[in-house]
């Protein structure tokens, strides 16, 4: 899967299951290019989103919700995920 397909899937899944006002997903894989354990076709992503629903939760609860939604992608295509909630 290429990065654009992955970002589209992630965006669709999150928008379908969480009330989100704004979302930005960035590929940060280039920052980890020479790190040990870095694998081809495993991406490092940064998700910045604005969500009243998630903002009401504590950080652990909101991150768990996102991780549960993206479980399949985390297993197959995501090496690292940075989540910023506003």
CATH number of the domain encompassing residue 9: 3.30.300.90
Kindly tell me the sign of the dihedral angle through the C-alpha atoms of 78, 82, 83, 86.
negative
pLDDT (tens place) for every residue of the chain, 86 residues total = 899 999 999 999 999 999 999 999 999 988 766 666 556 678 999 999 999 999 999 999 999 999 999 999 999 999 899 999 99
CB 53 within 8 A of CB 19: yes
Range of the domain at 58: 3-32+40-85
- Whether the model clears a pTM of 0.75, i.e. scores above it, the answer is yes
Q: State the greatest distance between any 2 C-alpha atoms of the chain, in Å, as a whole number.
A: 38
Distance separating alpha carbons of residues 27 and 59, to the nearest angstrom: 22
Number of domains within the chain: 1
C-alpha to C-alpha distance for 43 and 23, rounded to whole angstroms: 18
């Amino acid at each position: 899967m290429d990065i654009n397909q992955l970002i589209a899937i992630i965006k669709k899944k999150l928008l379908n299951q969480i009330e989100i006002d704004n979302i930005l997903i960035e590929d940060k894989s280039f920052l980890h290019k020479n790190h040990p354990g870095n694998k081809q076709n495993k991406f490092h992503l940064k998700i910045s989103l604005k969500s009243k629903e998630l903002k009401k939760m504590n950080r652990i609860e909101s991150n768990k919700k996102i991780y549960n939604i993206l479980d399949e992608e985390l297993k197959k295509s995501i090496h690292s995920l940075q989540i910023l909630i506003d």
